Structure 1
Amino acid sequence: MSTRQIFGSLACGAVLLAGVPACSEKPADKPPTSNAGNSGKADGDTNTDTAPADLLKLGVEQGQAGNIDAAKATFEKVVAAEADNKFAWFNLGFIAQSRNQADEAVDNYDKALAADASYKPALYNKAIALEGKAPTTSIEIYRKVVSIDDKSSTAYLRLGMLLSQSGDDAAARNAFQSAIRLDKGLTSAVPAKYRAVPKAPASPRTGR
């Protein structure tokens, strides 16, 4: 995934200021690029003549450098110029979520999803934000994520956790089995009772 798209993700609840979401190995679509403007400006040195694509790149660089307040201000400039820029809305959501501002994060992810209803990073992180307060909605979103990308191992894992908490052991087992099949490294995160595949009842033996 291009660093111009995203400076962070919430993968299994951990904040990563650089890299790709662990929920999928598939690259997401790339944002539009532009040669307009000067993307080499110093942090905070932006003006109304800078193209949104260049502002997006600057915001990512600021975020990766740990200058989160400046990155937030830059992404806000992007959405002021392009109200449907899903990449900027996603990163604003990520910033809010990393600061435990769940409602603001969900609102920003919703704006990203209004531009692209299948934008998986926003779906995934929204589901994480809603796990505690709206687990049923979170389950629905994780199911949408894995319907979009059936290689989303951590989405299967988190889905399994929520299904287990809801008492749906059969569906939880299926989700956990999918997670482990895709990534054996997730096995230790799966509750022990779901790791072993239930054995079929032994057929009766007949004597001679």
Structure 2
Amino acid sequence: MSTRQIFGSLACGAVLLAGAAACSEKPADKPQASNTSDKADGGTDSGSTPADLLKLGVEQGQAGNFDAAKSSFEKVVAAEADNKFAWFNLGFIAQSRNQPDEAIGNYDKALAADADYKPALYNKAIALESKAPTTSIDIYRKLVSIDNKSSTAYLRLGMLLSQSGDEGAARDAFKAAIRLDKGLTSAVPAKYRPAPTARSSTPAGR
């Protein structure tokens, strides 16, 4: 899958997912947009086919014109109702605009086309963290079962488990997050961080 198919991600850093990659980067505070774009395979700039419209929508989104991008992606799904990339990007736009219900609906349509589509699973879980934390936990667990290298999914799972009072499972999730990315240590609550390793001292000579 090429980067032109997805322009948005939430809490996945500036490098965007290509459909097969996991959300393994450190969480970002705001949605990020790709600064790269591939040419559509044999496509033109006219936006006359779903592939062209998808490419056009990505370019519009990268330029910050979300209204035009949304229109382009809506045309894609009107022509291809199971286009998970367009549905994902529509979800990203809605989530970026603080419209979680619309975002979740769009992610659900992406997941109807591909139930294991990791970008949609991840962003849906984020959208549900406040309103349905138990469902969000289930989604993060599914995500790490699909990709056990998704460090930020483990981190966010640990946060929710800790809030729910399941400290043992939270500790395991945080341990996995740190094992995969030591840079996440500072994001883990202090009580779950590994104890500093004591340096062994060399005895003085006789």
Same fold, judged at TM 0.5 (above): yes
Partners of 2:41 and 2:16 lie apart in 1 by 22
Which residue of structure 2 lines up, in the alignment, with residue 101 of structure 1?
Answer: 99
Alignment of 1:121-132 (within 5 A): 121-132=119-130
In structure 2, what is the Cα distance between the partners aligned to 1:24 and 1:54? 29
The separation in 2 between residues aligned to 1:158 and 1:145, in whole angstroms, is 11
Q: What's the counterpart of residue 10 of structure 2?
A: 10
After TM superposition, give the deviation of residue 53 of structure 1 in Å: 1.0
Matches of residues 1-208 of structure 1 in structure 2 within 5 Å? 2-11=2-11, 19-21=15-17, 23-24=23-24, 34-36=41-43, 38=44, 40-41=45-46, 46=47, 50-196=48-194
| Cα distance in structure 1, aligned partners of 2:15 and 2:79 | 26
Which whole-Å CA distance do the structure 1 matches of 2:23 and 2:189 have between them? 19
Structure 2: distance between partners of 1:139 and 1:74: 33
Q: Distance in 2 between matches of 1:60 and 1:170?
A: 42
Identity percentage of aligned residues: 82
**TM-score, normalised relative to structure 1:** 0.81
State the shift of 1:35 in Å. Answer: 2.4
Query: What RMSD in Å do the two structures reach over aligned CA positions?
Result: 2.0
> Which letter does structure 1 place at the counterpart of 2:125?
A
**CA displacement, residues 36-68 of structure 1 (integer Å, 9 cap, x when unaligned):** 5x2x24xxxx4xxx1111110110011001111
- Distance in 1, Cα, partners of 2:85 & 2:165: 36
Which structure 2 segments of 5+ residues have no match? 26-39, 196-206
Aligned length: 179
Partner deviation per Cα, 1:66-120 (whole Å, 9 max, x = no partner) = 1111000000000000000000000000000000100000000000000000000
Q: Distance in 1 between matches of 2:74 and 2:181?
A: 37
How far apart in 1 are the matches of 2:96 and 2:82?
Answer: 22
Tell me, in whole angstroms, the C-alpha distance in 2 between the residues paired with 1:2 and 1:126.
22
Structure 1: stretches of 5+ with no match in the other structure: 26-32, 198-208
- Normalised by the length of structure 2, the TM-score is 0.82
